[in-house]
Amino acid sequence: MDTGGSGAEDEEEPGRAKKARFTERETEILVEEVTQNYDHLFGRLADSIPLSAKHHIWQGITVRINGLGVEYRSVPEVRKKWYDCRRRLKAKLAKHKESARRTGGGPSVAMRMLWVEQKISKTIHPDQTEGIGDFDTDNLDFGPGLLWTTLDLVDSSEDL
C-alpha cells in the first residue's frame, strides 16, 4: 500500500554507509568544550550572547571533533550528540533517585558515573531529575480552562 510518502524514511540510500558512532575521544572533546563554554551556550550569559556567536562556538567545537579525522560531523550532529548525552544522563540520574526511594530498607546502591557523565551532571539542575519533591499532582482537578491556585493544593481534610 502506498502511503504517499517517498519511502526515504524507511530505507537507507543504496551505496550510502551509515555514519559511525561517536568515539569515546570525540565525546570527551564534546563534553570538555561544551562545559567550558556552557555559560555562553546555556548558562547565565546565554541570554546576552547573540545566536551567531553561539553558532560560532558550536562550529569551533565541531572543528575540534572533526580534527580527529574519525568521521565528518556537522554542527547539528554535534549539538544532537550533546543533547542525547544529557538526556541519557538525566534518565540515569532519575532512575537512580527512584531506586533510592523504594521501600524495603537498606542502603541505596551507589551509582557509578564515568568522568564524562560527572562533567555533564554539573550542567543539570537537581530539579531536572528530582522534580518538585513531594508534590502530588494525581488529585488536582484543573477543570476546563481553569488555572489552579495555591488553595487547590491544600487537602480539604487537613485543618488550616
Tens-level pLDDT at each residue, the chain (160 residues): 444 444 444 445 566 778 899 999 999 999 999 999 999 999 889 999 999 999 999 999 999 999 999 999 999 999 999 999 999 999 888 888 777 777 666 666 777 888 898 899 888 876 655 554 554 444 444 444 434 333 333 444 444 4
Phi, psi values for residue 71, rounded to 5°: -160, 145
Segments forming the whole domain that contains residue 48: 24-128
Q: Name the residue among 70, 71, 88, 69 with its Cα closest to residue 31.
A: 88
Q: Is residue 160 included in any domain, yes or no?
A: no
Flag whether 119 is in a domain.
Answer: yes
Residue 85 near residue 122, CB atoms below 8 Å: no
Report residue 103 as a C-alpha cell. Answer: 521501600
Asked, for residue 6, whether it belongs to a domain, the answer is no
What is the tally of structural domains in the chain? Answer: 1
How far is CA 155 from its chain centroid? 34
Confirm whether 40 is domain-assigned. yes
Angle at the Cα of 150 (from 148 to 152), degrees rounded to 5?
A: 55
In a domain, 80, yes or no: yes
pTM above 0.75, yes or no: no
